[in-house]
Structure 1
Amino acid sequence: MTSIKVKELVAYFNQFERFSIAVSGGIDSMLLAYIANRFSKAKVKTVHAFSPAVPEAALERVKEHAKRYQWDLQIINAREFDDPNYINNPVNRCYFCKSNLYTRISEHSQGVVFSGTNLDDLADYRPGLEAAKEQNVKHPYVQVGIDKTTIYAIAKHYGLNQLHVLPAQPCLASRVETGIKINADDLGFINQMEEKTRQLLPEMKNIRCRITHQGTFLEIDVLPENTLFRGLSNTLSSLCEQEGRIFSGIRTYQKGSAFINGVAHG
């Protein structure tokens, strides 16, 4: 199945003479860039947009893979912080983010723009897909019927060891509850909290720091045993205290894509 889907993906790529891939640093877009650059006949450009909403680790991952596999990489400023609609953080914040992103990428690209959207994304609440549709962004994984499980399997098949163990990593702004304005300081703090948790719980797959109207929460897959739980809680509480923030506790991770009706997702 894996090899069949890769052949279908390459056949789709080869319909185009040139295209650009919006590469976030996550497994979906990174694998798309890998397959396109390695196997397609087209002229491929990879574009990464940096911003306070993108962890620095994602930027470094993109740069490292581009150097290793000789991608034609361009790094641009996403500039979504110039948009007050994005800053105000409505439920459809992702629409404004993606509108800015794809506009900026189109300014630096020739040919069609591809995203790493896969079949599983279509079942989730993703207003960014509407922005992609408006700007004629294509989704190769969707076109050939590839879901997240298959993406991980393909990455493993090609020995992309860093990618096939990479958990889902939506943008840092997705951790901020609807209605709380997006700012760079909050996003930097979110990244700091998650990185500290990752150091203490390296085996934990999903880690989210949520900034809510009730304070700052940490969400993880499984709550650790008492001693580790207390140590983690004390560490995160101290980090919050140093920044003048309220630490509201640790709770179980909830999956999704936006804060809706007071429930965190993404």
Structure 2
Amino acid sequence: MNPINNTVGQVKIFGQAKLDSLYNFLNKYPGFIIALSGGIDSRFLTFFSHIFELNYQAVTFYGPHLTDYEIDFVKRWVEKHKIKHNFVYFDPLKFRLISSNTKDRCYFCKKEIFTLLKRNYGKYGYIIIDGTNYSDLKKYRPGIRALNELKIISPLADFFIEKNDIKFLGNIIGLDFLDQYSRSCLLTRFDYNIKINKTYLLRLREIENFLLNLGLLNFRVRVLKNKIFLQVDDFFKELFFSYKKKIDIRFNDLFKRDYELMFSNNISGYFDKKGL
């Protein structure tokens, strides 16, 4: 008997059908690796695989392109749920095609990461899956080309599961942190074609860690050639101004310059000059 039928109970036909299809698809593989970024999409796949006792292994890449806040979140989450999980260190700046920061940067980065996964786990017969959802296919996502070339499986996209569907289905299976804000890697903060060096990346990492620890959970520090922008979600405006003096001091300490401030209710995960 499909275990979902006993676990989910009375749900809408849509949710039942999606969960059944996903379970039947993943269950046919003797084992698979999940690229767990810590975002809601890959967490959904990981939690789903875990509670239905599929033969999975979650892997998270960490390095200077991610904040301590995000890595700590993954650590706490996998420990809480007893997820089968490994961390793998990855420094994207070791690769010239990534650090040169062209518009295809994410293509080159995904290619290196998933090539490493295939090299380490493919020899054991594991397939590699990731959390790309169907909504992502409608946006500019150069990394998807790398996934296609390496034959990485994206079951959420394959079964037409969109971002809003994931929250609905996640609620059915008991996934936590359904309202978490999206966090893209720190390389996306740099305007295209600005070469990214480690010193500046670590300063950016430090300021974003600082802001996250203040409780500003949805923002982006944007680096242009001659300017730094701080985009903050409208929801956090009051909290921002309560810490503004501390924030100003930290920006000056790290970057020796002022930043330009803007509030928005639609902050992109990728570098976006819209509204700047």
TM-score (norm 2): 0.83
Q: What displacement does 1:164 show? A: 0.8
Pick from 195, 203, 226 the counterpart of residue 181 of structure 1. 195
Instruction: State the distance in 2 between where 1:142 and 1:229 align.
Output: 36
Residue identity opposite 1:26 in structure 2: G
SS across alignment from 1:250: strand
The RMSD of aligned alpha carbons is: 2.5
Change (3 A) 1:108 1:229: closer
* CA 127–72 in structure 1, closer or farther in 2 if over 3 Å, else same: same
Per-residue deviation, 1:65:
2.8
Query: Contact 2:41–2:166 (CA<8 Å) still a contact in 1?
Result: yes
Q: CA deviation at 1:152?
A: 1.9
Residue 27 (str. 1) matches residue 40 (str. 2): yes
1:258 to partner: Cα distance: 3.8
Alpha-carbon contact 2:101-2:196 (below 8 Å) kept: yes
Whether the 8 Å CA contact 2:69–2:212 is kept in 1: the answer is: no
Distance in 1 (CA, whole Å) between partners of 2:93 and 2:246 is 31
CA contact (8 A) 1:49 1:77 kept: yes
Aligned to 1:80: 92
Q: What secondary structure is seen at the aligned counterpart in 2 of 1:240? A: helix
Q: 1:251 to 1:146 in 2, by over 3 A?
A: same
Q: Does 1:103 align with 2:115?
A: yes
Percent identity, please. Answer: 24
Greater alpha carbon shift after TM alignment, 143-152 vs 228-237: 228-237
Distance 1:2 1:80 in 2: 38
Aligned-pair CA distance for 1:188: 3.3
> Residue 94 of structure 1: SS of its match in structure 2?
helix
Give me the whole-angstrom Cα distance separating, in 1, the residues matched to 2:239 and 2:217.
Answer: 17
- 2:127 — aligned with what? 112
Further displaced range: 110-119 or 216-225 = 216-225
What TM-score results when the alignment is normalised by the length of structure 1?
A: 0.86
2:226 matched to 1:214? Answer: yes
User: Could you say which residue in structure 2 is the equivalent of 1:252?
Assistant: 263
Q: Deviations over 1:219-250 (max 9, x none)?
A: 1222876x866555433321121123322321
Describe how 1:5-24 pairs up with structure 2 within 5 A: 5-24=18-37
In structure 2, stretches of 5+ residues that fail to align are 1-13
Larger radius of gyration: 2
CA distance in 1, matches of 2:253, 2:18: 49
> Structure 1 residues 140-149 or 105-114, which shifts more?
105-114
From 5, 10, 15, give the equivalent of 1:2: 15
- Structure 1 residue corresponding to 2:146, chosen from 127, 131, 147: 131
Pair 1:165–1:26, CA change in 2 (3 A)? same
Matching residue's letter, 2:104: N
Out of 230, 250, 270, the position equivalent to 1:239 is: 250
Listed as ranges, the gaps of 5+ residues in structure 1 are none
CA distance in 1, matches of 2:83, 2:119: 19
Does 1:172 pair with 2:186?
A: yes
Partners of 1:90 and 1:214 lie apart in 2 by 18
The answer to whether structure 1 residue 54 and structure 2 residue 69 are counterparts is no
